[in-house]
Structure 1
Amino acid sequence: MALIMVLLAMALVTLVAAGMVPKQELRIFSAGHYLAQQQGYSIALGAEAFAQRILVRDYEDDKEDNALVDNLEEVWAANSAVLPVESTNEGTPRVIAVAEVQIDGLGGRINLNDLVRGGEAVEPVTKERVANLLAVLEITGFRVDALIDWIDANDQTVTAYGAEDGAYLLAEPAYRAANQLFTSVSELRLIEGMTEEAYRALLPHVAALPVSGAGINVNTATAEVIASLHNELTLAQAEAVIEKRAEEPFETVQEFLALPEFAGLGLKASGLQVRTAFFEVVSRITYDNRVVNLVSLVYRNPEGEVQTVRRDTGQKNRITKEPVSVPD
């Protein structure tokens, strides 16, 4: 009997131990994954600081040249950067992570939040430009009025083409119009009549900046955004403007408006500029066979100081520019 009891006790201990091992392995894996993610995020913050320094240096160089102009030929816009991250904990330097960093200027896009001023007043110039952009992109499923209704503070549609709570409460699941500024361009997916195809078409040409009045940088604007500046401009004319810009960036808005493509249109300088204030810093960190993504919205003020506005870790595959290795 004693021998049987010992055998039963050993069997019970074996079963308990066998059940604990997988759970312990899972806990160890989870803890290791969490630590690696945190380390990767810390490196991403360092990559963000590196990009901010690039923007500060760009401002200092422009100020020294007495030409505060941002264009696509500058260092921050031309390429992404690849930075090896080394550790010397064991005496010999070794690469433990790779940081990829890309800076995208948002000045060449139409700011959706410029559609409405003060929560109520529709900004006619921006409204016309967004309507023109929809026409250039051949988007017909919804009108600019639906975007205005998404932002304005009231619950009344601006026209029959708008959409307020009444339209969105019929959705599954039901939701309401934001009635505030866009906090992310991804909110476009919620707009009445929006399709994934239309969203993807709009994405490179619009932004959701936290302020209004940032303006469009004519040196970085896409051909579609340039064509949206007037309803008589064609995409071919806009592409011709970009070809001229590639030869020599515009130093002033007046120089841009003096182009023959705009002759007789009466195009105004309202909302146009040659500088960029808001940028997206896209970081992708590879650490311990794991990837951490970070997209940071940063603001560079007129004095050249750069600060982070918000961060997003949910966006992937945003590194698109040709990489350039940065020396240690």
Structure 2
Amino acid sequence: MLSPRSFKQQQGVAIVVALFIMALVASMAYIMMARLSRDTQRTTLILRDTQAAFYAQGSVAWAIEQLRRDWENQKPDQLIDKLPMTSPTNTINDYHISSTIEDMQARFNLNNLNDTEAQTSFKRLIQSVAPNLSEEKIQAIVNAVVHWITLGSMVSVSELRSVKGITPAIYHALQPYVTALPEAAALVNVQSAPAPILAVLSPTMNLEAGNAIMALRSTSPFVSMQQFLNNDIVKNHPISAQKVTVVSSYFLVVTNVTIEKQQLVLYTLLERATKGDQLAINILWQSKGIG
């Protein structure tokens, strides 16, 4: 028979064991609930991303329709495309969707760099956006990019990040002014190109002349090549008609879809092409990013 003292000791041990078990069960329950919460949140994020991608495709369809309509409604004395063009923000089930169409022929095509004249133009562009770089450094970058595309054309400008000599600062300085179009012979659209691109179209052109062209076209848009080539600025800084155009075929659609704090960005490269009387607008590639 247990003494009263032994009984109390065993009772105390039992209480401690019971408390330990309760704490263990509570801890396990907390861990399971936290894991369930994370799994639920992860599932929600995946579902939202899938839904956002679906809505983004609808916005790409809007862009295709805009480019088709611009082409079909063109008039001889008017611009075909007025870019960049931004869609109204559309809200569906708390998702906010908007797109911007950008002219990719307003940029320097890196896939042109097999041409020696294009290499000189690219060198001048680097000098314009990164003036602190030495002549030797700029030439090394040009050579590295030429070597890169010799192995195969660039698909995306993001490939520049992997080219020898391209630092994050140099990449971000160049990124707004360069593109990687599949057609190496794609011409620069002088109606939409920014001043740093206009400035490299002629050996005698500079940023001041590029800005003057931008000011001129803001009041008198270039609706034909003849109009562009006949303006006094171009006459003073001859530009080859074989390098430029006022009609583009390549466009980048940047689509943003947001819900609460989650954002998806879809990049779509479109090509608008004609064959005879037939118009086709094709998706060349798409890439997703997270805002």
Q: Compute the TM-score of the two structures, normalised by the length of structure 2.
A: 0.82
1:272-291, aligned counterparts within 5 Å? 272-291=244-263
Distance, in Å, in 1 between the alignment partners of 2:271 and 2:290 is 19
Q: Is the 8 A contact 1:112 1:182 kept in 2?
A: yes
Structure-1 residue corresponding to 2:138: 142
The answer for the alignment partner of 1:20 in structure 2 is 32
CA positional deviation for 1:304: 3.7
Partner of 1:56: 68
Return the alpha-carbon distance in structure 1 between the equivalents of residues 235 and 260 of structure 2: 58
1:35 aligns with 2:47: yes
Contact 2:86 2:98 in 1 (8 A): no
Q: Following superposition of structure 1 onto structure 2, how do residues 312-323 of structure 1 map, counting pairs within 5 Å?
A: 312-314=287-289, 316=291
Residue aligning to 1:238: 210
Aligned CA RMSD, in angstroms, stands at 2.8
Bigger-Rg structure (1/2): 2
For residue 20 of structure 1, give the secondary structure of its aligned residue in structure 2. Answer: helix
In 1, the alpha carbon distance for the partners of 2:162 and 2:261 equals: 35
Instruction: Give how far 1:124 is off.
Output: 2.7
Out of 91, 103, 110, the residue aligned to residue 84 of structure 1 is 91
- The 8 Å contact of residues 282 and 294 in structure 1, kept in 2 or not, is answered as yes
Q: Secondary structure at the match of 1:263?
A: helix
Q: Give the number of aligned pairs.
A: 270
1:83 alignment partner AA:
N
Q: 2:102 aligns with which of 96, 99, 104?
A: 104
Which of 273, 280, 290 aligns to 1:305? It is 280
Deviation at 1:29, TM superposition (A): 1.4
Which protein has the bigger helix share? Answer: 2
1:183 aligns to what SS in structure 2? Answer: coil
Q: Is the 8 A contact 1:132 1:230 kept in 2?
A: no
1:264–1:239 Cα change, 3 Å? closer
Match of 1:187 in 2: 159
Separation (CA, whole Å) in 1 of partners of 2:97 and 2:73:
25
Structure 2: give runs of 5+ residues left out of the alignment.
1-9
Match of 1:256? 228
Residue in structure 2 matched with residue 172 of structure 1 by the alignment: none
**Alignment-mate amino acid for residue 185 of structure 2:** G
1:108 and 1:216 in contact (8 A); partners too: yes
TM-score, length-normalised on structure 1? 0.73
Paired with 1:8 and 1:261, the residues of 2 have a C-alpha distance of 88
Evaluate the alpha carbon distance shift between residue 266 and residue 39 of structure 1 in structure 2; reply closer, same or farther with a 3 A threshold.
closer
Q: Does 1:129 align with 2:113?
A: no
Q: Give the secondary-structure state (helix, strand or coil) at the position aligned to 2:251.
A: strand
- Write the letter of the residue equivalent to 2:268: S
Alpha-carbon contact 1:36-1:288 (below 8 Å) kept: no
Q: Is contact 1:215–1:273 with CA below 8 Å preserved after alignment?
A: yes
Is this contact kept in 2: 1:101–1:284, CA < 8 A? yes
**Contact preservation (8 Å) 1:111, 1:207:** yes
- Relative to structure 1, the CA distance from residue 18 to residue 146 in structure 2 (aligned partners, 3 Å threshold; closer, same or farther) is closer
User: Tell me, what secondary structure is at the counterpart of 1:81?
Assistant: coil
Q: CA deviation at 1:248?
A: 1.6
Aligned partners of 2:290, 2:263: CA distance in 1, in Å?
12
1:59, 1:68 within 8 Å by CA — same for their partners in 2? no
2: CA distance, partners of 1:26 / 1:135: 50
Q: Which residue of 1 aligns with 2:59?
A: 47
Counting aligned pairs with the same residue, the percent is 26
